A and B are shown apart, each in its own frame.
Chain A
Amino acid sequence: MRLILNRIFLIFSTFAALVGLFFLGWILFTLCVKGLSGLSLDVFTKDLINGGLRNVIVGQMMMSGVATMIGIPVGILAGIYLQEYGGNSKTTEFIRDLSDVMMSAPSIVVGTFVYAIVVVPTGHTTGWAGVLALFILMVPIIVRTTDDMLKLVPIELREAGIAIGASKYHVTMNIVVRYAKAGILTGILLAFARVVGETAPLIYTSGSSEFWSTDLTDTFPSLTVSIYNLATMPDDNLVQLGWTGAFLLTAMVLIINLLGRYSGKKKRS
Protein backbone atom coordinates (compact mmCIF):
# COMPACT_ATOMS: atom_id res chain seq x y z
CA MET A 1 0.00 0.00 0.00
CA ARG A 2 2.73 2.37 1.00
CA LEU A 3 4.53 1.55 -2.22
CA ILE A 4 1.48 2.38 -4.31
CA LEU A 5 0.98 5.68 -2.49
CA ASN A 6 4.60 6.47 -3.12
CA ARG A 7 4.15 5.75 -6.84
CA ILE A 8 1.04 7.87 -7.14
CA PHE A 9 2.65 10.74 -5.33
CA LEU A 10 5.72 10.52 -7.55
CA ILE A 11 3.59 10.51 -10.70
CA PHE A 12 1.56 13.52 -9.61
CA SER A 13 4.54 15.59 -8.58
CA THR A 14 6.42 14.73 -11.76
CA PHE A 15 3.38 15.74 -13.77
CA ALA A 16 3.10 19.04 -11.89
CA ALA A 17 6.76 19.78 -12.49
CA LEU A 18 6.36 19.01 -16.19
CA VAL A 19 3.36 21.36 -16.49
CA GLY A 20 5.42 24.16 -14.98
CA LEU A 21 8.40 23.42 -17.19
CA PHE A 22 6.17 23.17 -20.26
CA PHE A 23 4.84 26.70 -19.88
CA LEU A 24 8.26 28.08 -19.05
CA GLY A 25 9.65 26.39 -22.15
CA TRP A 26 6.76 27.68 -24.24
CA ILE A 27 7.37 31.26 -23.08
CA LEU A 28 11.09 31.05 -23.80
CA PHE A 29 10.43 29.40 -27.16
CA THR A 30 7.93 32.07 -28.25
CA LEU A 31 10.26 34.83 -27.07
CA CYS A 32 13.16 33.36 -29.01
CA VAL A 33 11.16 32.81 -32.19
CA LYS A 34 9.50 36.22 -32.20
CA GLY A 35 12.37 38.16 -30.64
CA LEU A 36 15.36 36.75 -32.50
CA SER A 37 13.91 37.51 -35.92
CA GLY A 38 13.97 41.22 -35.17
CA LEU A 39 17.47 41.20 -33.73
CA SER A 40 19.95 43.28 -35.68
CA LEU A 41 22.77 45.70 -35.04
CA ASP A 42 20.33 48.59 -35.45
CA VAL A 43 18.58 47.54 -32.24
CA PHE A 44 21.70 48.40 -30.28
CA THR A 45 22.90 51.45 -32.22
CA LYS A 46 19.67 53.36 -32.84
CA ASP A 47 17.31 55.02 -30.40
CA LEU A 48 13.62 54.19 -30.16
CA ILE A 49 12.67 57.15 -32.33
CA ASN A 50 14.76 55.64 -35.17
CA GLY A 51 13.54 52.07 -34.69
CA GLY A 52 16.21 50.83 -32.25
CA LEU A 53 16.33 50.14 -28.50
CA ARG A 54 19.66 51.72 -27.53
CA ASN A 55 18.28 54.55 -25.41
CA VAL A 56 15.74 52.43 -23.55
CA ILE A 57 18.25 49.67 -22.73
CA VAL A 58 20.76 52.21 -21.42
CA GLY A 59 17.98 54.02 -19.56
CA GLN A 60 16.72 50.85 -17.90
CA MET A 61 20.24 49.84 -16.85
CA MET A 62 20.97 53.33 -15.59
CA MET A 63 17.88 53.55 -13.39
CA SER A 64 18.40 50.04 -12.02
CA GLY A 65 22.10 50.74 -11.60
CA VAL A 66 21.63 53.98 -9.68
CA ALA A 67 18.94 52.36 -7.52
CA THR A 68 21.39 49.52 -6.76
CA MET A 69 24.22 51.93 -5.95
CA ILE A 70 22.04 53.62 -3.34
CA GLY A 71 20.39 50.37 -2.28
CA ILE A 72 23.61 48.45 -1.55
CA PRO A 73 24.91 50.60 1.33
CA VAL A 74 21.46 51.14 2.82
CA GLY A 75 20.48 47.47 2.56
CA ILE A 76 23.78 46.06 3.80
CA LEU A 77 24.03 48.49 6.72
CA ALA A 78 20.45 47.69 7.74
CA GLY A 79 21.19 43.96 7.49
CA ILE A 80 24.28 44.43 9.66
CA TYR A 81 22.23 46.33 12.19
CA LEU A 82 19.62 43.56 12.39
CA GLN A 83 22.12 40.74 12.85
CA GLU A 84 25.03 42.33 14.70
CA TYR A 85 23.66 45.20 16.74
CA GLY A 86 19.89 44.82 17.04
CA GLY A 87 19.89 41.80 19.33
CA ASN A 88 16.44 40.36 19.94
CA SER A 89 14.75 43.66 20.64
CA LYS A 90 11.25 44.52 19.48
CA THR A 91 12.60 47.09 17.01
CA THR A 92 14.75 44.44 15.33
CA GLU A 93 11.86 42.03 14.96
CA PHE A 94 9.64 44.83 13.67
CA ILE A 95 12.16 45.87 11.00
CA ARG A 96 12.64 42.23 10.01
CA ASP A 97 8.89 41.65 9.65
CA LEU A 98 8.50 44.92 7.80
CA SER A 99 11.21 43.90 5.31
CA ASP A 100 9.40 40.61 4.73
CA VAL A 101 6.15 42.42 4.05
CA MET A 102 7.89 44.95 1.79
CA MET A 103 9.53 42.14 -0.16
CA SER A 104 6.15 40.80 -1.23
CA ALA A 105 4.53 44.22 -1.71
CA PRO A 106 3.00 44.44 -5.21
CA SER A 107 5.27 46.60 -7.34
CA ILE A 108 2.35 48.62 -8.72
CA VAL A 109 1.66 49.79 -5.17
CA VAL A 110 5.20 51.07 -4.85
CA GLY A 111 4.87 52.76 -8.25
CA THR A 112 1.62 54.45 -7.24
CA PHE A 113 3.16 55.54 -3.92
CA VAL A 114 6.11 57.23 -5.61
CA TYR A 115 3.72 58.76 -8.15
CA ALA A 116 1.76 60.29 -5.29
CA ILE A 117 4.72 61.63 -3.30
CA VAL A 118 7.08 62.69 -6.12
CA VAL A 119 5.43 62.90 -9.52
CA VAL A 120 2.21 64.66 -8.47
CA PRO A 121 3.93 67.42 -6.42
CA THR A 122 6.64 68.05 -9.05
CA GLY A 123 4.20 67.79 -11.92
CA HIS A 124 6.14 65.52 -14.26
CA THR A 125 7.73 62.09 -14.53
CA THR A 126 11.45 61.90 -13.87
CA GLY A 127 14.23 59.33 -13.92
CA TRP A 128 14.83 59.96 -10.22
CA ALA A 129 11.24 59.01 -9.39
CA GLY A 130 11.84 55.72 -11.23
CA VAL A 131 15.08 55.23 -9.32
CA LEU A 132 13.27 55.82 -6.04
CA ALA A 133 10.57 53.25 -6.87
CA LEU A 134 13.17 50.63 -7.80
CA PHE A 135 15.19 51.48 -4.68
CA ILE A 136 12.16 50.91 -2.44
CA LEU A 137 11.61 47.55 -4.14
CA MET A 138 15.15 46.28 -3.81
CA VAL A 139 16.25 47.45 -0.36
CA PRO A 140 14.18 44.88 1.58
CA ILE A 141 15.65 42.10 -0.56
CA ILE A 142 19.21 43.19 0.21
CA VAL A 143 18.36 43.68 3.90
CA ARG A 144 16.97 40.18 4.28
CA THR A 145 19.70 38.38 2.34
CA THR A 146 22.41 40.26 4.26
CA ASP A 147 20.61 39.43 7.51
CA ASP A 148 20.33 35.74 6.57
CA MET A 149 23.90 35.48 5.33
CA LEU A 150 25.33 37.08 8.49
CA LYS A 151 23.27 34.67 10.56
CA LEU A 152 25.24 31.80 8.96
CA VAL A 153 28.58 33.18 10.21
CA PRO A 154 29.66 30.99 13.16
CA ILE A 155 29.42 32.77 16.51
CA GLU A 156 32.90 31.43 17.36
CA LEU A 157 34.37 33.58 14.61
CA ARG A 158 33.03 36.72 16.24
CA GLU A 159 34.35 35.62 19.63
CA ALA A 160 37.74 34.78 18.15
CA GLY A 161 37.90 38.28 16.67
CA ILE A 162 37.04 39.85 20.01
CA ALA A 163 39.58 37.55 21.70
CA ILE A 164 42.50 38.94 19.68
CA GLY A 165 41.56 42.45 20.67
CA ALA A 166 39.41 43.57 17.75
CA SER A 167 36.58 45.97 18.46
CA LYS A 168 33.01 45.08 17.54
CA TYR A 169 33.26 47.36 14.52
CA HIS A 170 36.44 45.65 13.28
CA VAL A 171 35.01 42.17 13.85
CA THR A 172 31.86 43.07 11.91
CA MET A 173 33.53 44.75 8.96
CA ASN A 174 36.75 42.74 8.59
CA ILE A 175 35.68 39.27 9.66
CA VAL A 176 31.91 38.73 9.68
CA VAL A 177 31.02 40.62 6.49
CA ARG A 178 34.05 39.23 4.69
CA TYR A 179 33.00 35.70 5.64
CA ALA A 180 29.52 36.30 4.24
CA LYS A 181 30.73 38.27 1.19
CA ALA A 182 29.77 35.75 -1.50
CA GLY A 183 26.26 35.32 -0.10
CA ILE A 184 25.69 39.05 0.18
CA LEU A 185 26.90 39.54 -3.40
CA THR A 186 24.41 36.90 -4.56
CA GLY A 187 21.66 38.79 -2.76
CA ILE A 188 22.61 42.01 -4.51
CA LEU A 189 22.64 40.36 -7.93
CA LEU A 190 19.25 38.75 -7.34
CA ALA A 191 17.83 42.06 -6.11
CA PHE A 192 19.19 43.75 -9.23
CA ALA A 193 17.70 41.04 -11.44
CA ARG A 194 14.37 41.52 -9.70
CA VAL A 195 14.14 45.28 -10.31
CA VAL A 196 15.73 45.43 -13.76
CA GLY A 197 12.69 43.69 -15.24
CA GLU A 198 10.05 45.73 -13.41
CA THR A 199 7.44 47.67 -15.38
CA ALA A 200 4.78 48.63 -12.86
CA PRO A 201 6.95 50.87 -10.64
CA LEU A 202 8.18 52.79 -13.70
CA ILE A 203 5.01 53.40 -15.71
CA TYR A 204 3.88 56.38 -13.61
CA THR A 205 7.28 57.44 -12.29
CA SER A 206 9.92 57.60 -15.00
CA GLY A 207 7.54 57.13 -17.88
CA SER A 208 9.49 56.38 -21.03
CA SER A 209 11.06 58.40 -23.79
CA GLU A 210 11.86 57.78 -27.43
CA PHE A 211 14.98 59.90 -27.28
CA TRP A 212 18.47 59.45 -25.92
CA SER A 213 18.78 60.83 -22.39
CA THR A 214 21.06 60.54 -19.39
CA ASP A 215 19.32 63.31 -17.48
CA LEU A 216 17.53 61.71 -14.53
CA THR A 217 15.67 64.93 -13.74
CA ASP A 218 13.48 64.45 -16.81
CA THR A 219 11.20 61.77 -18.21
CA PHE A 220 13.52 58.83 -18.73
CA PRO A 221 13.73 56.04 -21.34
CA SER A 222 12.74 52.65 -19.94
CA LEU A 223 12.92 49.30 -21.73
CA THR A 224 10.07 47.66 -19.84
CA VAL A 225 7.66 50.56 -20.20
CA SER A 226 8.59 50.76 -23.91
CA ILE A 227 7.84 47.06 -24.37
CA TYR A 228 4.43 47.67 -22.84
CA ASN A 229 3.84 50.64 -25.16
CA LEU A 230 5.18 48.96 -28.29
CA ALA A 231 3.04 45.86 -27.80
CA THR A 232 -0.14 47.90 -28.30
CA MET A 233 1.05 49.82 -31.36
CA PRO A 234 -0.80 49.38 -34.67
CA ASP A 235 2.49 49.21 -36.61
CA ASP A 236 3.79 45.63 -37.02
CA ASN A 237 7.39 46.81 -37.06
CA LEU A 238 6.97 48.44 -33.66
CA VAL A 239 5.31 45.31 -32.22
CA GLN A 240 8.27 43.34 -33.57
CA LEU A 241 10.61 45.75 -31.75
CA GLY A 242 8.64 45.09 -28.57
CA TRP A 243 9.24 41.34 -28.96
CA THR A 244 12.93 41.94 -29.48
CA GLY A 245 13.03 44.08 -26.35
CA ALA A 246 11.23 41.38 -24.37
CA PHE A 247 13.72 38.81 -25.58
CA LEU A 248 16.71 40.98 -24.63
CA LEU A 249 15.23 41.73 -21.22
CA THR A 250 14.65 38.04 -20.51
CA ALA A 251 18.16 37.16 -21.62
CA MET A 252 19.55 39.89 -19.36
CA VAL A 253 17.60 38.78 -16.29
CA LEU A 254 18.49 35.14 -16.96
CA ILE A 255 22.20 35.93 -17.18
CA ILE A 256 22.19 37.99 -13.97
CA ASN A 257 20.28 35.24 -12.15
CA LEU A 258 22.74 32.61 -13.35
CA LEU A 259 25.63 34.83 -12.23
CA GLY A 260 23.98 35.10 -8.81
CA ARG A 261 23.53 31.34 -8.57
CA TYR A 262 27.09 30.73 -9.70
CA SER A 263 28.65 33.08 -7.16
CA GLY A 264 26.47 31.50 -4.46
CA LYS A 265 27.58 27.98 -5.42
CA LYS A 266 31.24 28.85 -5.50
CA LYS A 267 31.09 29.91 -1.87
CA ARG A 268 29.71 26.60 -0.70
CA SER A 269 32.39 24.46 -2.37
Chain B
Amino acid sequence: MKNMMEVKGLTFTYSGANEASLVDVTLPVEKNKVTALIGPSGCGKSTLLRGMNRIHDLYPGHTYEGVINLLNTDGKSYTNILDIKKEAELIRLRQRVGMIFQKPTPFPMTIFENIAYGLRLSGIKNKADLKDIVEQSLRDAALWNEAKDRLDHDARGLSGGQQQRLCIARAIALKPEVILFDEPTSALDPISTLAIEEMISVLREKYSICIVTHNMQQAARISDFTGFMYLGEMIEYDQTDTIFMKPSKKQTEDYISGRFG
Protein backbone atom coordinates (compact mmCIF):
# COMPACT_ATOMS: atom_id res chain seq x y z
CA MET B 1 0.00 0.00 0.00
CA LYS B 2 1.98 3.00 -1.16
CA ASN B 3 -0.86 5.48 -0.81
CA MET B 4 -1.53 6.97 2.61
CA MET B 5 -4.62 8.75 1.37
CA GLU B 6 -6.65 8.49 -1.83
CA VAL B 7 -9.12 11.06 -3.04
CA LYS B 8 -11.34 9.46 -5.66
CA GLY B 9 -13.95 11.21 -7.76
CA LEU B 10 -14.57 13.87 -5.12
CA THR B 11 -17.22 16.46 -5.88
CA PHE B 12 -17.67 19.11 -3.21
CA THR B 13 -20.30 21.84 -2.99
CA TYR B 14 -20.24 24.64 -0.43
CA SER B 15 -23.37 25.28 1.57
CA GLY B 16 -25.77 27.41 -0.45
CA ALA B 17 -23.63 27.37 -3.63
CA ASN B 18 -25.21 26.44 -6.95
CA GLU B 19 -22.10 25.00 -8.51
CA ALA B 20 -19.66 22.48 -7.14
CA SER B 21 -16.26 23.85 -6.11
CA LEU B 22 -14.55 20.52 -6.78
CA VAL B 23 -15.59 18.33 -9.68
CA ASP B 24 -14.62 14.66 -9.83
CA VAL B 25 -11.19 15.24 -8.29
CA THR B 26 -8.80 12.34 -7.86
CA LEU B 27 -5.52 12.58 -5.96
CA PRO B 28 -3.27 10.02 -4.28
CA VAL B 29 -1.11 11.05 -1.31
CA GLU B 30 1.78 8.63 -1.25
CA LYS B 31 3.30 7.43 1.98
CA ASN B 32 6.39 9.37 3.12
CA LYS B 33 6.26 11.62 0.09
CA VAL B 34 5.45 15.27 -0.37
CA THR B 35 2.51 15.97 -2.67
CA ALA B 36 2.06 19.57 -3.78
CA LEU B 37 -1.13 21.17 -5.07
CA ILE B 38 -0.70 24.15 -7.36
CA GLY B 39 -3.10 26.28 -9.36
CA PRO B 40 -4.43 29.83 -9.61
CA SER B 41 -6.50 31.40 -6.81
CA GLY B 42 -9.96 29.93 -6.54
CA CYS B 43 -9.04 26.69 -8.31
CA GLY B 44 -10.14 24.62 -5.32
CA LYS B 45 -6.80 23.44 -3.98
CA SER B 46 -7.45 24.68 -0.43
CA THR B 47 -11.00 23.34 -0.63
CA LEU B 48 -9.61 19.93 -1.49
CA LEU B 49 -7.08 20.05 1.33
CA ARG B 50 -9.71 21.10 3.85
CA GLY B 51 -11.81 18.12 2.82
CA MET B 52 -9.02 15.73 3.69
CA ASN B 53 -9.44 16.25 7.44
CA ARG B 54 -13.11 17.22 7.12
CA ILE B 55 -12.49 20.64 8.66
CA HIS B 56 -15.21 21.89 6.30
CA ASP B 57 -17.62 20.20 8.68
CA LEU B 58 -17.06 22.99 11.20
CA TYR B 59 -19.66 24.83 9.13
CA PRO B 60 -22.84 22.94 8.36
CA GLY B 61 -24.46 22.31 5.00
CA HIS B 62 -21.60 21.41 2.67
CA THR B 63 -21.98 18.29 0.53
CA TYR B 64 -19.37 15.72 -0.43
CA GLU B 65 -19.73 13.06 -3.13
CA GLY B 66 -17.07 10.48 -3.87
CA VAL B 67 -14.46 8.86 -1.70
CA ILE B 68 -11.56 10.00 0.47
CA ASN B 69 -9.68 6.93 1.71
CA LEU B 70 -7.29 6.94 4.64
CA LEU B 71 -5.01 3.95 5.21
CA ASN B 72 -5.94 2.13 8.41
CA THR B 73 -3.33 1.63 11.09
CA ASP B 74 -3.05 -2.04 10.06
CA GLY B 75 -1.53 -0.79 6.79
CA LYS B 76 -3.70 -3.08 4.69
CA SER B 77 -7.14 -1.61 4.27
CA TYR B 78 -8.70 1.81 3.81
CA THR B 79 -11.51 3.68 5.53
CA ASN B 80 -13.56 6.22 3.63
CA ILE B 81 -13.40 9.28 5.90
CA LEU B 82 -16.53 10.70 4.27
CA ASP B 83 -18.48 7.93 6.03
CA ILE B 84 -17.57 9.31 9.44
CA LYS B 85 -20.62 10.68 11.22
CA LYS B 86 -19.75 10.78 14.91
CA GLU B 87 -18.01 13.79 16.45
CA ALA B 88 -15.62 11.54 18.40
CA GLU B 89 -14.46 9.81 15.22
CA LEU B 90 -13.98 13.15 13.46
CA ILE B 91 -11.78 14.24 16.36
CA ARG B 92 -9.76 11.03 15.99
CA LEU B 93 -9.46 11.67 12.24
CA ARG B 94 -8.07 15.15 12.84
CA GLN B 95 -5.50 13.78 15.24
CA ARG B 96 -4.37 11.40 12.49
CA VAL B 97 -4.48 14.03 9.74
CA GLY B 98 -2.90 17.22 11.08
CA MET B 99 -3.16 20.64 9.48
CA ILE B 100 -1.01 23.78 9.30
CA PHE B 101 -2.66 27.02 8.22
CA GLN B 102 -1.54 30.00 6.21
CA LYS B 103 -1.48 32.37 9.15
CA PRO B 104 0.35 31.12 12.25
CA THR B 105 -2.29 30.32 14.86
CA PRO B 106 -0.69 30.11 18.31
CA PHE B 107 -3.30 29.51 21.01
CA PRO B 108 -3.52 32.13 23.76
CA MET B 109 -1.40 30.03 26.12
CA THR B 110 2.24 29.43 26.97
CA ILE B 111 4.53 27.76 24.45
CA PHE B 112 4.47 24.57 26.51
CA GLU B 113 0.67 24.57 26.82
CA ASN B 114 0.24 25.13 23.09
CA ILE B 115 1.68 21.69 22.48
CA ALA B 116 0.48 20.00 25.66
CA TYR B 117 -3.11 21.10 25.02
CA GLY B 118 -3.71 18.76 22.08
CA LEU B 119 -1.87 15.96 23.86
CA ARG B 120 -4.09 16.25 26.92
CA LEU B 121 -7.17 16.18 24.70
CA SER B 122 -5.86 12.98 23.16
CA GLY B 123 -5.62 11.43 26.61
CA ILE B 124 -1.98 11.91 27.64
CA LYS B 125 -2.06 13.26 31.20
CA ASN B 126 1.24 12.14 32.72
CA LYS B 127 3.44 15.20 33.35
CA ALA B 128 6.74 13.52 32.53
CA ASP B 129 5.35 12.12 29.27
CA LEU B 130 3.98 15.52 28.31
CA LYS B 131 7.35 17.14 28.95
CA ASP B 132 9.16 14.55 26.84
CA ILE B 133 6.78 14.84 23.90
CA VAL B 134 6.80 18.64 24.01
CA GLU B 135 10.59 18.65 23.92
CA GLN B 136 10.78 16.09 21.11
CA SER B 137 8.18 17.94 19.04
CA LEU B 138 9.98 21.25 19.47
CA ARG B 139 13.23 19.57 18.43
CA ASP B 140 11.59 18.07 15.36
CA ALA B 141 10.21 21.49 14.48
CA ALA B 142 13.68 23.06 14.91
CA LEU B 143 12.38 25.37 17.61
CA TRP B 144 13.83 23.80 20.75
CA ASN B 145 16.96 25.94 20.96
CA GLU B 146 15.02 29.16 20.62
CA ALA B 147 12.15 28.16 22.89
CA LYS B 148 13.62 25.99 25.64
CA ASP B 149 14.23 28.89 28.04
CA ARG B 150 10.83 30.46 27.54
CA LEU B 151 8.44 27.52 27.55
CA ASP B 152 6.31 29.31 30.15
CA HIS B 153 6.02 32.49 28.06
CA ASP B 154 2.96 33.38 26.01
CA ALA B 155 3.33 31.83 22.55
CA ARG B 156 2.13 35.04 20.92
CA GLY B 157 5.45 36.63 21.86
CA LEU B 158 7.27 34.50 19.28
CA SER B 159 8.09 35.82 15.80
CA GLY B 160 5.86 34.84 12.87
CA GLY B 161 8.25 32.16 11.64
CA GLN B 162 8.68 30.77 15.14
CA GLN B 163 4.91 30.74 15.64
CA GLN B 164 4.49 28.73 12.45
CA ARG B 165 7.11 26.22 13.60
CA LEU B 166 5.28 26.02 16.93
CA CYS B 167 2.11 25.15 15.03
CA ILE B 168 4.02 22.42 13.22
CA ALA B 169 5.41 21.14 16.55
CA ARG B 170 1.86 21.16 17.91
CA ALA B 171 0.65 19.09 14.98
CA ILE B 172 3.48 16.53 15.02
CA ALA B 173 3.22 16.09 18.79
CA LEU B 174 0.01 14.18 18.11
CA LYS B 175 1.94 11.72 15.90
CA PRO B 176 -0.28 12.20 12.89
CA GLU B 177 0.06 10.02 9.81
CA VAL B 178 -0.59 12.81 7.33
CA ILE B 179 0.16 16.52 7.64
CA LEU B 180 -1.73 18.98 5.46
CA PHE B 181 -0.07 22.33 4.83
CA ASP B 182 -2.29 25.14 3.56
CA GLU B 183 0.12 27.72 2.11
CA PRO B 184 2.25 27.55 5.24
CA THR B 185 4.86 30.10 4.17
CA SER B 186 2.85 32.76 2.35
CA ALA B 187 2.77 34.98 5.46
CA LEU B 188 6.47 34.51 6.25
CA ASP B 189 9.73 36.18 5.26
CA PRO B 190 12.23 34.33 2.99
CA ILE B 191 14.43 33.09 5.84
CA SER B 192 11.51 31.67 7.82
CA THR B 193 10.21 30.18 4.56
CA LEU B 194 13.50 28.42 4.01
CA ALA B 195 13.45 27.04 7.56
CA ILE B 196 9.94 25.63 7.05
CA GLU B 197 10.83 24.14 3.66
CA GLU B 198 13.88 22.40 5.13
CA MET B 199 11.73 21.07 7.92
CA ILE B 200 9.20 19.66 5.46
CA SER B 201 11.89 17.69 3.65
CA VAL B 202 12.93 16.19 6.99
CA LEU B 203 9.36 15.54 8.13
CA ARG B 204 8.81 13.45 4.99
CA GLU B 205 10.79 10.63 6.58
CA LYS B 206 8.14 10.15 9.23
CA TYR B 207 4.97 11.56 7.74
CA SER B 208 3.03 11.76 4.49
CA ILE B 209 2.63 15.36 3.44
CA CYS B 210 0.23 17.28 1.23
CA ILE B 211 0.96 20.96 0.67
CA VAL B 212 -1.00 23.70 -1.07
CA THR B 213 1.23 26.45 -2.38
CA HIS B 214 0.97 29.56 -4.53
CA ASN B 215 4.67 29.45 -5.08
CA MET B 216 5.61 27.19 -7.97
CA GLN B 217 9.30 27.27 -7.14
CA GLN B 218 8.40 26.01 -3.70
CA ALA B 219 6.44 23.09 -5.17
CA ALA B 220 9.38 22.30 -7.46
CA ARG B 221 11.86 22.49 -4.58
CA ILE B 222 10.17 20.35 -1.96
CA SER B 223 7.61 18.03 -3.53
CA ASP B 224 7.83 14.55 -5.03
CA PHE B 225 4.47 14.73 -6.76
CA THR B 226 2.47 17.69 -8.00
CA GLY B 227 -1.18 18.12 -8.87
CA PHE B 228 -2.24 21.06 -11.01
CA MET B 229 -5.79 22.21 -10.41
CA TYR B 230 -7.90 24.65 -12.38
CA LEU B 231 -11.56 25.66 -11.91
CA GLY B 232 -12.25 22.87 -9.45
CA GLU B 233 -10.77 20.10 -11.56
CA MET B 234 -7.55 18.14 -11.26
CA ILE B 235 -6.02 18.92 -14.66
CA GLU B 236 -2.86 16.91 -14.25
CA TYR B 237 -1.09 14.89 -11.57
CA ASP B 238 2.37 13.39 -11.94
CA GLN B 239 5.87 13.33 -10.57
CA THR B 240 6.99 16.89 -9.85
CA ASP B 241 9.82 16.69 -12.40
CA THR B 242 7.42 15.63 -15.12
CA ILE B 243 4.91 18.36 -14.31
CA PHE B 244 7.54 21.04 -14.45
CA MET B 245 9.68 19.70 -17.33
CA LYS B 246 7.29 17.85 -19.61
CA PRO B 247 3.67 18.51 -18.69
CA SER B 248 1.26 16.62 -20.90
CA LYS B 249 -1.57 19.17 -20.80
CA LYS B 250 -1.46 22.55 -22.50
CA GLN B 251 -3.11 24.30 -19.49
CA THR B 252 -0.44 22.99 -17.12
CA GLU B 253 2.30 24.20 -19.39
CA ASP B 254 0.70 27.63 -19.71
CA TYR B 255 0.36 27.96 -15.94
CA ILE B 256 3.85 26.90 -14.96
CA SER B 257 5.42 29.02 -17.69
CA GLY B 258 3.53 31.99 -16.21
CA ARG B 259 1.18 32.62 -19.11
CA PHE B 260 -1.88 32.78 -16.86
CA GLY B 261 -2.85 32.56 -13.21
A-to-B contact residues, CB < 8 Å: 87, 154, 156-168, 170, 174-175, 178-179, 181
Contacts and interface: CB of A to CB of B under 8 A. Distances in A.
Interface in B211-247: none
Given A154-B103, A157-B105, A165 B174 contact: yes
A164 B109 contact: no
A167 B87 contact: yes
B108 A179 contact: yes
Residues of A contacting B: mostly: helix
Contacts of A165: 91-92, 94-95, 118, 121-122, 174
A161 B107 contact: yes
A160 B87 contact: no
Contacts of A174: 107, 117
Contacts of B122: 165
B191 interface: no
Contact of A156 (B94, B95, B98, B101): B101
B99 interface: yes
A162 B170 CA distance: 13
Contacts of A162: 55, 58, 94
5 contacts: A154-B105, A160-B107, A166-B117, A168-B58, A178-B109
Question: Which of B94, B102, B108: most chain A CB closer than 10 A?
Answer: B108
Nearest to A181: B108
**8 shortest interchain CB distances as A-B pairs:** A160-B105, A164-B118, A165-B95, A163-B99, A179-B108, A165-B94, A165-B91, A178-B108
Contact of B118 (A159, A166, A181): A166
Interface residues of B, number: 26
Given A164-B171, A165-B122, A170-B121, 20 more contacts: A87-B60, A154-B103, A158-B58, A159-B55, A159-B58, A159-B99, A160-B101, A161-B107, A162-B55, A162-B94, A163-B98, A164-B121, A164-B174, A165-B94, A165-B95, A165-B118, A166-B117, A168-B58, A175-B107, A181-B108
A227 B60 CA distance: 55
Nearest to B53: A163
Nearest to B180: A163
A168 B118 CA distance: 13
Given A154-B103, A156-B101, A174-B117, A163 B94 contact: yes
A149 to B, nearest CB: 13
Contacts of B121: 164-166, 170
Nearest to B97: A163
Nearest to A174: B117
Question: Which of B53, B87, B101, B102: most chain A CB closer than 10 A?
Answer: B101
B103 A156 contact: yes
Interface in B98-126: 98-99, 101-103, 105, 107-109, 117-118, 121-122
B55 A157 contact: no
B167 interface: yes
B99 to A, nearest CB: 4
Nearest to A182: B108
Question: Which of A160, A170, A181: most chain B CB closer than 10 A?
Answer: A160
Contacts of A157: 105, 107
A156 B105 contact: yes
A158 B58 CA distance: 9
Contacts of A178: 107-109
A164 B98 CA distance: 6
A159 B122 CA distance: 17
B176 to A, nearest CB: 9
A81 to B, nearest CB: 16
A97 B109 CA distance: 34
Contact of B117 (A154, A158, A159, A164): A164
Contacts of B167: 160
A178 to B, nearest CB: 5
